[in-house]
Each structure stands twice: as C-alpha cells, then as structure tokens.
Structure 1
Amino acid sequence: MLGHTVVALVDNIMVGQLGTAELAAVSLGNSFLFIAMSLGIGFSTAITPLVAEADGENNFEAGKSSFKHGLFLCTILGIALFLMVFIAKPLMYHMRQPEEVVILAMPYLNLVAVSLVPLIVFQAFKQFSDGLSMTRYPMYATILANIVNIVLNYIFIFGKLGMPQLGVVGAAIGTLASRVIMVAYLWYLLSQHHKSRPFVLHIKLFQLSKRMLKKIMSLGFPSALQMFFEVAIFTAAIWLSGILGKNPQAANQIALNLSSMTFMVAMGFSVAAMIRVGNQKGLKRFRELRRIAFSIFLLSTMLAVIFAILFVVFKDALPKLYLDFDNKAEFADNFQVATIAAKLLLISAVFQISDTLQVVVLGALRGMQDVKIPTLITFVAYWLIGFPISYYLSMISDYGSAGIWIGLLAGLTASGLMLFIRFNYLSKRLIEANTE
C-alpha cells in the first residue's frame, strides 16, 4: 500500500525542485485523480474478503468466481473513472485556483488520468492476491513500479539522456509507464506460483453470473463510497488551500503526502484485518475473529504513536525534502511553504491514531462483509462533522491552513470512534449467536 504513495512522494519531491507553482500543479491534478482512485481502490476491496472466505473454506470455484467477476468490474470501472476525470478537467478553471497552477496541471492530468485504467486493474489482482494471503507479490510489483517511476522521472522531468525537459508532464509519463509495468509484472508473478496459477490463467472474463456480479457490487460500491467520503474531504482540503493561495496549497500538498504515507501503512494493517477476519468468518471461529482483530488494532495503534512522535520531532526537517532552498529567487516562497507545512504536520501527528483506528476497523468490518452501516458512519463523520469545521475555520475564521486540518482531525476522530463501536457490537453479537 505504501508503494502507491511513494509514486506520489517521488513526483512531489522531484517536481518540487522546479518551484512551488509546479508542486501546487501536481497537487491540483492529483486531487482529481485521488477522488477517482478512491472509488476504484475502495470498490476493489470487495474481492479480498470473498477470496479470503473461500480460501478459509478451501473452495477454489468460489474463489476463482469472486476474482474473475471482480476483475471484470474493476476493468470497466477503471475505464469509466478515466473518462470521468477527463471530462471533469475543465472544472479547474472554475475553482478559484491560481491561474499559473491550473495551466501547469492540465497536461499533467491528461496522462495521469490514463494511468487509472492499469492502476484499477492492478488493484483487482492485488486484492485477489491479498485474499489468498499472498501479500508479497503485489509488494514486489509496486517496488518495481517505483524504480521505473524514479528513473523515468529523472529522464523526462529534467531532460536527461538527450530527452526534452518536460517538467510536470515528465512526472506523468513516469507514473503512467510504471503502472502499466506494475500490472504486467504482478500477473507474471501470480501465473508462476502453484497456488495462484489456476486462478489467473484461462480466465473466461465474459462468462459471467448475474448473482456473483450483484454480490460483488453490493460489497464494492459501499466500500468505494467509504473511501470516497474520506479521500474527498482531503481533496476538499486541497481545493480550500488553493483558495488561500499557491503557497498554502503547496504546503498542504507536503503535509498531505507525508500523512498519506503513514496512512498507507495503516491501510496495510487494514488489509491484514480484512484477510484474517475473512478467514475466521469462513471457518466460523468468531472468538478468534474478535481476538485477531483486536490484536491488529493494538499493533497498528502502537505504530501510529511512533509516526506521531516522528512528525512532531521532524516537523521542520521533513518539508525541506520537497523544496530547493538553494534557489534564491524562490527562497521567500519556499520558506513560507515550509513554515505552514510544519504547523500542519503537528495537527497530522495528533490524528495519526484516529486515522489508523478508523481505517483498520473498517478493514475488519469489510472482512465481516458489513459495509452499509460503515458507509453511513463515514459520511456523517467526514461531511457532517469534519468538512463544516474545515470550511468555517479556514474560510471564515483566521485559522487558515491550520483550520482545514483541524476539521480533518475532527472527522477522522469521529469516524474512528463510531466504527470501533460498530465492530465491538457486531463481533460480540456473532459470538453470542454462535454459542446459543
């Protein structure tokens, strides 16, 4: 999971060397992409609990059917999301964003939008592989993708090895190429392993069952909405910071990118919770289900505390990784960006625990195939609690960028608490029903 964010990290650090406007442009372009990605990645998570449950029951046919139908739907969704982003591009001109940032973001978004198709197809393979407890292969594919991205970024952003200097467009080329290679390599790895080979070879993609399509969609769309509601509030934070100016937007992008990296580690634990809870559900061992889930909650929370401490200790040093302080012409802008980002990292440090708790508990609930009530919880937490606070504090009061992130803190904390109460209630009810 961290690998997805490292692609954005590398793009941000390398593009940040060109200037704050370029960094803000990547931020604005990615804000559209993140919304689409959230829907695609969220939808694909429906595959994991179904495959994990089938794996727990040792039911090959059910596992292959879940994967095949999930792959078909993810492919269709990837194409639809690409078209959606492409059609939505002109909205940038009506969002009160800095004009120089919009001009730079447009060509970047064209190519990165295309990369949504291989990314969502990759997610289908990844979630299937996770469901079989084969989590290393997607990791290997993501590592390769990051290496390809770094090399191509270096060549095309800065114009090396005789290539033209393309700036932010060069970063988009690296992202697109790396995601195509990522899918191909993961398929190759899965086709070579005895456990996964029968699943990924001879896939009759167009021989479909209405019942299975309906089952995956009934799990996938609520899961997609859960991730959408969270990612959308962070995207709203990008747009609100853009209204404040290009420097607040660049600072927001730095803090968001660093927070996304720690969030992806929590997402890894969320996947672990989904797999293990799905296994125990298939085995009907509900006491073990609850014990395993609480163990993962505890372990991930301990790690979140470590991340929080690191953010506090290195709040001034981390933003400097993204900026070129040797550039005298940009020094004033860079200094302001680094100062704002340091304040935002302090708030991010506080919400590391609630952000981790909400995503890991959400994974456990998905493993139990409970998705409808959690979807309502995430909507209430982020859009009825978090966003109004973000908007009021940043646009009406004098808190500025910090106000946006205080709203994020409120939304994540509300989500974490309500989802934990939901899991505690459901897991106890399963144990009681099983002992009667």
Structure 2
Amino acid sequence: MNLAQYTKEFRYNMQLAYPVILGMLGHTLIAIVDNIMVGKLGSTELAAVSLGNSLVFVAMSLGIGFSTAITPIVAEADAEKDNSKIRSAFHHGLFLCIILGFALFGLVVLAKPIMELLHQPEEVITLAKPYLDWVAFSLVPLIIYQGYKQFADGLSMTKISMYAIVMANIIHVPINYCLIYGVWIFPKMGILGAGLGTVISRLAMVIFMHIILSRKEQLKQYFHEFSFDEIKKETIKKIVNLGLPSAMQMLFEVVLFTAGIWLCGNIGKTSQAANQIALSLASMTFMFAMGLSVVSMIRVSNQRGLGDYKQLIVVARSIFLLAIIIEIIFAVMFVALHQVLPYLFLNMENETQLLDNQEVISIAARLLLVAAVFQISDGIQVVVLGALRGLQDVKIPMYITFVAYWLVGFPISFYLGEHTQLKATGVWIGLLAGLTAAAVFLFLRFHYLTKKLVLENEIS
C-alpha cells in the first residue's frame, strides 16, 4: 500500500479527533491552572497538590479506563444501525459509572494513610490531606460525565464533550482564582480552593452533558423511560469484561507515573515539584495522542461492525502515522524550549523561594529532554491501544502493558532514581523504557490480529 492511502484519511481523522483533543486539553488545563495558581503560593504547596493528585489520578484511571468499554459497543451498534443495542450500552454503562464514581471516592479517602507509608515530606502531607478530600469527591461527577462522553463518542458526536470542557474551564479559572487567593467575597482557601474549584467545574460538566444530549432529537429515544428492569446481568457482564481490562491497562500506566511522583518525592521536594512541572507539560501534549486513540477506537469499531477488515487496517495505520507525526513535532518543541517552559510554573520574584525555584527549573529542564523522546513512544502505544479496544481485544493488551510498565519500566526508574546520580532524570528514563516496550508489543499484537481477521474473512 502506498502512503497516499493513509494520508487521505488524515482529514476525517482530524475532524473526529480535534474536539476530543480540545476536550482532553481542557481536562489537562484544569490541572495546569491548579498547578500554576498553587505554584505561586510556593514549592511546598505545589508538591502537596502533586501528592494529592497522584492518588486521585490512580482512581481516575480506573474510572476512565472502565468507561471506555461503552464506546466500542455503541460505535459497533451504530454501524449496524441497532438502536436497542445503543440504548442498552448507554444505560448499563451510565449505571455502572455512577456506582464506580462513588466507590472510587470512598477508596481514595480511605487510602490517605498511604502518604505516610511513602515517606513523603511531612509539611507536604499536612497540606495534601484536606485537599485530597475535595478532589476525591470530584471523581463522582467526573466518572458520571465519562458515561455520557463515551456514549456520545461512540456515535461519533465528539464535539459535545469538547463544549462541556470549554464551559468547565470558563467556570474553573475565575472560581479557582477567587477561592485560592481570597478575592472579593470569597475566603482565602489556598490549595483547598483549588480542590473545591475542581468539584464545582466537574459538577457543571455532568449537568451540561445531560441537558445537551437529552435535547438532541435523534438521541431522545435513549433518554426516556429508563427503568431498572432494563438492567440485564448479561449486558453488565459484557461491559465489565471489556471495561475491567481497559481499566487495568490505564491503571498500570498511571500508577507507573504515580510511582515516578513518589520516587521524586523521596529524592526531595524540588525533584517532586520539577516532576510535576514536566508531567503537566507532557500530559498536555499527550492529549493529542489520546484524542487520536479515541478516534482509533471509534473508527476501528465502525469497520468491525461493517466487517471490512482491509479498510480497518488502512484506517488504523493512518491514525498511527498521524500520531507519530504530531508527537515528533512536540518532541522538537520540548527540546527547543526545555529551558524556558518551567518558568511558567514558578514565581521567580519570591526571594525566600528563589534557591528552591532555581533548582526546580534546572531539574525540570532535564526532564523535558527525556519527555521529548517518550512523546513518540507514548503516542504510538495509546493509539494502538485504542485500535485494539475497537477490536474488543483487551485481555492480552492488559498483560502486555503490565509487563512493559512494571517489569521493564519501573525497575529501571527505581534503580536509576534511587541508586545513581541521575536521580529524577533516571526516573524518567525508566518511564521512557516502559512506554517504548508497550508501543512495540502492542503494535505487534494489532498486526497479528488484523492479519488473522483478513485471512479468516477471505476463507469464509
């Protein structure tokens, strides 16, 4: 096949992807706004937000990963024009997301003692604990929102969640500013204000999604006359069988990055703050690949529903190629600006923090050089994972990601971070190794499965 077969798909891929990317950037922007505003209070406060969010991100990965099971079922049913299957996937998925949201909130609150066991700085833990209560509660509306989002994505209505996130950011920025610094009638709450601002903006997202989706004429059939009698054990089992391995895949990656936060915390608070800066920037660029991963899942599910496996391969490879091109552009940007970008996150006019802040910037600049390289591996592994979810192949990828992140990536991070002079940079070299291993083996898995599907289709 020639290159033109793939590049001609770029336009449609980007039409579907850009709302998802903007929506995911909006999610990241909420976290970045928190980091920038909290960073102005001091490096201890920034480290506390980093530590609190590290536990929330673990729970969030389970919720978001689980909810992705809704999209391929809806997308496949959409290609088959099966409205009852779409309705069933939406209702069962939303029901499970509500339960999961409250369960994850409870788990995070109960997990607070873990912070002491991880030997994090005492002043950081003291600030992080009350902040964590608010951000943990924000998981409830966030996971419910995911139920709506994955349903809309499955129907290729990717713009709706983008509008919800734009609206959330419009609310989040001024509320955060007022609650953190105590502007006008609002109390000065410091990092607690950042947590409360996150709760308010995520509640608004759920309300917005419900109103917009339920008022669309073609979607009204999926919103009326909901009954618990419609909840069937076999449909719940199907979503759980797809959702649980997907949740575990995302968990393995997020916990690896969380372990990186903890390892950097062991090295010192400047390393932890630098890690948070580099992670915020890398997360922002990763959202482009995440958006393409959703497109990969939607389009592969559609082709699977149509039974056109040769076109499925062309579509998937076009998305892989697009992701590689975009991530190379970001890699070049990180290398060019690695000395400049960390200054966005710290107040260099605060003389009492100046020495700490200079050290944070020096470490963050080195981390961004490693991040430049792993952008590419990270982009490949996530879009291939999306394609595999579109094929509803989730169990083997779950094992692949476990091996890549925890048998390859973490041991390297631990050894280089704790036992060499590389310290935080060594932690990130381990992350790079894990992501690269995942990218290679997931691609081989996709290649094997699609080749097999084409052969079986030709024989039949």
Fold-level similarity (TM above 0.5): yes
Q: Shift of the alpha carbon at 1:329?
A: 1.1
Does residue 72 in structure 1 map to residue 64 in structure 2? no
Q: Shift of the alpha carbon at 1:204?
A: 2.4
Question: For 2:227 and 2:94, how far apart are their aligned partners in 1?
Answer: 11
Of residues 87-96 and 234-243 in structure 1, the stretch that sits farther from structure 2 once superposed is: 87-96
Gap change, CA 1:324 and 1:38, over 3 Å in 2: same
* Equivalent position of 1:22 in the other structure: 45
- Note if contact 1:78-1:118 (Cα within 8 Å) is conserved in structure 2: yes
* Equivalent position of 2:69 in the other structure: 46
Gap change, CA 1:205 and 1:137, over 3 Å in 2: farther
- Note if contact 1:69-1:205 (Cα within 8 Å) is conserved in structure 2: no
* Residue type at the aligned position of 1:196: L
* Equivalent position of 1:372 in the other structure: 395
- Note if contact 1:68-1:205 (Cα within 8 Å) is conserved in structure 2: no
* Equivalent position of 1:152 in the other structure: 175
Which deviations, in whole Å up to 9, do the C-alpha atoms of 1:375-430 show, x marking residues without a partner? 00000000000000000001112210001000000000000000000001111111
Q: Which aligned pairs between 1:383-394 and structure 2 lie closer than 5 A?
A: 383-394=406-417
| 2:373 counterpart (350, 360, 377) | 350
Does residue 263 in structure 1 map to residue 295 in structure 2? no
Give the secondary structure class of the aligned counterpart of 1:398. Answer: coil
Question: For 2:226 and 2:281, how far apart are their aligned partners in 1?
Answer: 39
- Note if contact 1:301-1:357 (Cα within 8 Å) is conserved in structure 2: yes
Root-mean-square deviation (Å):
0.8
Give the secondary structure class of the aligned counterpart of 2:125. Answer: helix
* Equivalent position of 1:33 in the other structure: 56
Question: For 1:202 and 1:409, how far apart are their aligned partners in 2?
Answer: 49
Q: Shift of the alpha carbon at 1:205?
A: 4.5
| 1:114 counterpart (113, 131, 137) | 137
Q: Shift of the alpha carbon at 1:343?
A: 0.3
Please, which runs of 5 or more residues in structure 2 have no aligned partner? 1-23
Question: For 2:61 and 2:229, how far apart are their aligned partners in 1?
Answer: 26
Gap change, CA 1:284 and 1:17, over 3 Å in 2: same
Q: Shift of the alpha carbon at 1:193?
A: 1.5
* Equivalent position of 2:405 in the other structure: 382
* Equivalent position of 1:182 in the other structure: 205
Does residue 338 in structure 1 map to residue 338 in structure 2? no
TM-score (norm 2): 0.94
* Equivalent position of 2:301 in the other structure: 278
Length, aligned pairs only: 436
TM-score (norm 1): 0.99
Question: For 2:226 and 2:345, how far apart are their aligned partners in 1?
Answer: 44
> Which runs of at least 4 in structure 1 moved beyond 4 Å after TM superposition?
none
Please, which runs of 5 or more residues in structure 1 have no aligned partner? none
Does residue 415 in structure 1 map to residue 438 in structure 2? yes
Q: Shift of the alpha carbon at 1:206?
A: 5.5
Give the secondary structure class of the aligned counterpart of 2:112. Answer: helix
Question: For 2:228 and 2:203, how far apart are their aligned partners in 1?
Answer: 20
Q: Which aligned pairs between 1:86-97 and structure 2 lie closer than 5 A?
A: 86-97=109-120
* Equivalent position of 1:58 in the other structure: 81
- Note if contact 1:21-1:246 (Cα within 8 Å) is conserved in structure 2: yes
Q: Shift of the alpha carbon at 1:228?
A: 0.2
* Equivalent position of 1:228 in the other structure: 251
* Residue type at the aligned position of 2:414: Y
Q: Which aligned pairs between 1:187-202 and structure 2 lie closer than 5 A?
A: 187-202=210-225
Question: For 1:332 and 1:201, how far apart are their aligned partners in 2?
Answer: 60
- Note if contact 1:72-1:205 (Cα within 8 Å) is conserved in structure 2: no
* Equivalent position of 2:9 in the other structure: none
* Equivalent position of 2:386 in the other structure: 363
Which deviations, in whole Å up to 9, do the C-alpha atoms of 1:255-296 show, x marking residues without a partner? 111111111221100000000000000000111111000000
Q: Shift of the alpha carbon at 1:196?
A: 2.3
| 1:320 counterpart (343, 368, 387) | 343
Does residue 239 in structure 1 map to residue 258 in structure 2? no
Give the secondary structure class of the aligned counterpart of 1:162. Answer: coil
* Equivalent position of 1:404 in the other structure: 427
Of residues 58-67 and 200-209 in structure 1, the stretch that sits farther from structure 2 once superposed is: 200-209
Does residue 435 in structure 1 map to residue 458 in structure 2? yes
Give the secondary structure class of the aligned counterpart of 2:111. Answer: helix
Q: Shift of the alpha carbon at 1:197?
A: 2.5
- Note if contact 1:49-1:369 (Cα within 8 Å) is conserved in structure 2: yes
Question: For 2:390 and 2:186, how far apart are their aligned partners in 1?
Answer: 48
Question: For 1:203 and 1:33, how far apart are their aligned partners in 2?
Answer: 31
